[in-house]
């Protein structure tokens, strides 16, 4: 700027000298005065960059602002020059015209610059690579490039290219590697997930540098460079696809080494071998300590010892631990049972059971095989208390075994058609009913499911007991007296014959005892009337 000011005053001095020596030369005076005025007016145009614009406050030169301001200054300069010429010629009218024209041009220029164009005289126009109110901030990076060569410098700083970040774009987003121009991930991170997630098997808590616990601790297979690939013993890596590869129906599928199934806190219940990475397989992918290992073909399923079944090697039902002939009592085979899950593709293992041979069924307790209900070994004949019908054994009335037809009390016997034939004995008891648990007449005393004969009973009549000289008080007889008044057996008859008659309400205390007729008394030893 200072250079232009010096040059400006040098030219003004030279023009003043010419003006002084050309006083008597009208043409020379006019020329000198005109050039001097033009130089005064247009000097700022060359000394200052025009930053005026209609569209923004941070000004950049444009053709509109330059043209309008230049035209105004030219008109003002010409008019001033003509004014001096008119003044020299003493032409008053022309002086007024040229003064007015020059004034209007200058006023319009001032109005245009100061009022019509938005001007912010406090804001600096920064050189490229700098920004801020006073251009105090820099986009230059340590490598000597603007925004490290990975962005552009804007009014607010560096605008970084994709995948770059930082004040000078000197780092990558996420875990992209800067040495690769943010095209690859740092060690341990997956490019598939834009370097935000660890690669398979790596532990995020270690910044993806170490494998999870289930991986083999051998740097030849699992290392920061090679990644996590081989599972340690009793761990396997299921396939992420449930339809192919190492999919295991009893464990969650995925790609991370998973512990083999346990039972009672033991791998495969301690009675099997897990199909994991360190098992021999001729089609394996790796060799570890001279043994070919399974690689992705490992299923994680348990190969159970003899006599153990299911995904966790549960002991077979009935198995004695040594002889497989004891499984399902030797009359069936083991099956695994699953519950269908409708919310996902997995079925839930619920246990093992016996599928028994024909004529055999699982026991409720041991769940091994035994004869069907009612059959006796060897499951060809019905057991005591059952009857055979259409190849199956059914319970006799009253229940199984001695409960059938009240056989335990000699009440009766079960017939082949499932009916009971009841027994009547005035010594052991007299029975009736479909299961022979009811007393056959009123001279038997009901005691639970037993029918005990009255003292001295020999028939069913009113006085066919108690030695023939009294009546036996039984609950069935009292029930009959309460509703029926038979001439041959009634309370009225008893009351008329009894030696010491009692009211009906009193007789309930004498059930099982004889009430003697008039002229007879009860023998305490025999319980009959004499």
In DSSP notation, 396-465 reads PTT-SGGGGGGGGGT-EEE-TTS-EEE-EETTTEEEESTTS-EESSTTEEEETTEEEEPTT--SSSTTSS
CA distance 527 to 470: 11
Number of C-beta neighbours around residue 142 at 10 A: 8
DSSP of 451-483: EEEPTT--SSSTTSSGGGTEEE--HHHHHHHHH
CA distance 303 to 309: 9
Nearest to 500 by CA among 478, 516, 524, 488: 516
- Whether 23 and 107 map to the same domain: the answer is yes
Confidence check: pLDDT of 23 > 70: no
Query: Where is pLDDT greater, at 293 or 303?
Result: 303
| Helix, strand, coil percent values for the chain (each to nearest 5) | 30, 20, 50
Q: pLDDT tens digits, residue range 169-205?
A: 999 999 999 999 999 999 999 998 999 999 888 999 9
Confidence of residue 454 (pLDDT cuts 50, 70, 90): very high
Asked if the structure places residue 304 within a domain, the reply is no
Number of C-beta neighbours around residue 70 at 10 A: 14
* 61, 86, 144, 384, 441 from 67: Cα distances, Å: 11, 28, 39, 128, 141
Asked if the structure places residue 259 within a domain, the reply is no
- Whether 386 and 449 map to the same domain: the answer is no
Among 364, 397, 425, the domain boundary falls at 425
**pLDDT given at position 280:** 60
* Sign of the Cα pseudo-torsion (201, 203, 209, 215, in order): negative
**pLDDT given at position 514:** 93
Confidence of residue 292 (pLDDT cuts 50, 70, 90): low
Q: Highest-confidence range of 37-46, 221-230, 252-261, by mean pLDDT?
A: 221-230
**pLDDT given at position 48:** 46
Nearest to 272 by CA among 321, 310, 240, 245: 310
- Whether 42 and 103 map to the same domain: the answer is yes
Asked if the structure places residue 86 within a domain, the reply is yes
Domain with residue 188: its CATH number is 2.10.25
Say what percent of the chain tops pLDDT 70.
Answer: 73
- Whether 153 and 94 map to the same domain: the answer is no
Task: For residues 477-491, give the mean pLDDT.
Answer: 90
Q: Highest-confidence range of 160-174, 280-294, 369-383, by mean pLDDT?
A: 160-174
For the chain, how many structural domains are there in total?
A: 4
- Whether 110 and 152 map to the same domain: the answer is no
Average pLDDT, rounded, for the chain: 79
Confidence check: pLDDT of 30 > 70: no
Asked if the structure places residue 341 within a domain, the reply is no
Q: Which domain holds residue 408?
A: 375-425
Asked if the structure places residue 50 within a domain, the reply is yes
Query: Where is pLDDT greater, at 27 or 206?
Result: 206
- Whether 469 and 417 map to the same domain: the answer is no
236-245, 271-280, 457-466, 476-485 — which is least confidently predicted?
236-245
Confidence of residue 286 (pLDDT cuts 50, 70, 90): low
**pLDDT given at position 385:** 81
201-210, 346-355, 479-488, 521-530 — which is least confidently predicted?
346-355
**pLDDT given at position 351:** 87
| pTM score over 0.85 | no
Task: For residues 231-240, give the mean pLDDT.
Answer: 75
- Whether 398 and 456 map to the same domain: the answer is no
44-53, 132-141, 336-345, 510-519 — which is least confidently predicted?
44-53
**pLDDT given at position 152:** 94
Asked if the structure places residue 470 within a domain, the reply is yes
Query: Are 246 and 300 a contacting pair, CB within 8 Å?
Result: yes
Among 52, 86, 116, the domain boundary falls at 116
**pLDDT given at position 1:** 36
Q: pLDDT tens digits, residue range 421-444?
A: 999 999 889 999 999 999 999 999
Among 89, 116, 143, the domain boundary falls at 116
- Whether 400 and 455 map to the same domain: the answer is no
Asked if the structure places residue 217 within a domain, the reply is no
Q: pLDDT tens digits, residue range 486-509?
A: 889 999 999 999 999 999 889 989
Q: Which tokens in the block code for residue 291?
A: 């043994």
Q: Which residue has the tokens 């008859």?
A: 493
- Whether 81 and 153 map to the same domain: the answer is no
- Whether 109 and 134 map to the same domain: the answer is no
Asked if the structure places residue 418 within a domain, the reply is yes
CA distance 275 to 305: 13
Q: Highest-confidence range of 169-183, 361-375, 383-397, 401-415, by mean pLDDT?
A: 169-183
- Whether 33 and 71 map to the same domain: the answer is yes
41-45, 125-129, 490-494 — which is least confidently predicted?
41-45
Number of C-beta neighbours around residue 302 at 10 A: 26
**pLDDT given at position 105:** 77
- Whether 389 and 470 map to the same domain: the answer is no
Tell me whether residue 326 is exposed, middle or buried, using C-beta atoms within 10 angstroms of its C-beta: 0 to 12, 13 to 18, 19 or more. middle
Query: Where is pLDDT greater, at 43 or 333?
Result: 333
CA distance 22 to 124: 46
142-156, 319-333, 507-521 — which is least confidently predicted?
319-333
**pLDDT given at position 59:** 41
């Amino acid at each position: 700027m200072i250079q232009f000011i010096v040059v400006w005053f040098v030219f003004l001095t030279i023009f003043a000298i010419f003006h002084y020596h050309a006083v008597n030369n009208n043409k020379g005076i006019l020329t000198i005065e005109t050039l001097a005025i033009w130089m005064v007016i247009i000097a700022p145009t060359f000394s200052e960059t025009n930053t005026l614009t209609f569209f923004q406050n941070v000004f950049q030169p444009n053709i509109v602002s330059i043209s309008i301001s230049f035209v105004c200054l030219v008109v003002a300069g010409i008019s001033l020059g003509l004014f001096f010429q008119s003044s020299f010629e003493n032409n008053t009218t022309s002086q007024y015209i040229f003064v007015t024209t020059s004034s209007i041009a200058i006023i319009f220029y001032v109005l245009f610059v100061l009022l019509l164009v938005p001007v912010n005289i406090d804001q600096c126009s920064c050189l490229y690579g700098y920004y801020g109110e006073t251009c105090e901030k820099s986009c230059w990076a340590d490598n000597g490039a603007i925004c490290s060569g990975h962005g552009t410098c804007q009014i607010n700083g560096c605008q970084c290219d994709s995948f770059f970040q930082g004040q000078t774009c000197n780092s990558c987003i996420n875990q992209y590697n800067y040495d690769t121009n943010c095209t690859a991930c740092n060690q341990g991170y997956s490019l598939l997930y834009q370097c935000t997630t660890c690669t398979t098997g790596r532990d995020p808590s270690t910044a993806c540098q170490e494998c999870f616990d289930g991986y083999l601790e051998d740097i030849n297979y699992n290392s920061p460079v090679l990644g996590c690939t081989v599972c340690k013993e009793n761990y396997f890596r299921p396939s992420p696809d449930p339809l192919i590869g190492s999919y295991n129906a009893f464990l969650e599928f995925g790609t991370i080494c998973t512990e083999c199934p346990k039972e009672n806190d033991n791998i495969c219940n301690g009675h099997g071998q897990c199909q994991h990475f360190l098992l021999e397989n001729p089609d394996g992918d790796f060799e570890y300590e001279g043994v070919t290992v399974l690689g992705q073909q490992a299923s994680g399923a348990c190969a159970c010892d003899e006599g153990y079944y299911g995904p966790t090697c549960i002991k077979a039902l009935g198995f004695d631990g040594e002889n497989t002939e004891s499984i399902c009592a030797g009359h069936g085979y083991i099956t695994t049972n699953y519950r269908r899950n409708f919310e996902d593709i997995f079925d839930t293992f619920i246990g093992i059971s016996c599928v028994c041979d024909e004529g055999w069924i699982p026991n409720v307790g041991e769940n091994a095989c035994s004869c069907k209900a009612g059959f006796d070994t060897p499951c060809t004949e019905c057991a005591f208390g059952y009857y055979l019908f259409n190849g199956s054994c059914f319970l006799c009335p009253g229940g199984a075994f001695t409960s059938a037809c009240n056989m335990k009390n000699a009440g009766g016997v079960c017939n082949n058609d499932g009916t009971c034939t009841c027994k009547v004995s005035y010594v052991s008891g007299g029975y009736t009913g479909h299961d022979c648990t009811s007393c056959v007449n009123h001279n038997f005393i009901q005691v639970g499911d037993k029918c005990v004969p009255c003292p001295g009973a020999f028939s069913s009549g009113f006085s066919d007991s108690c030695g023939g000289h009294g009546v036996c008080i039984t609950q069935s007889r009292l029930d009959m007296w309460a509703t029926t008044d038979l001439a041959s057996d009634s309370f009225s008859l008893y009351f008329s014959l009894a030696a010491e008659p009692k009211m009906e309400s009193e007789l309930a205390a004498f059930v099982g005892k004889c009430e003697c007729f008039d002229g007879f008394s009860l023998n305490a030893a025999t319980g009959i009337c004499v």
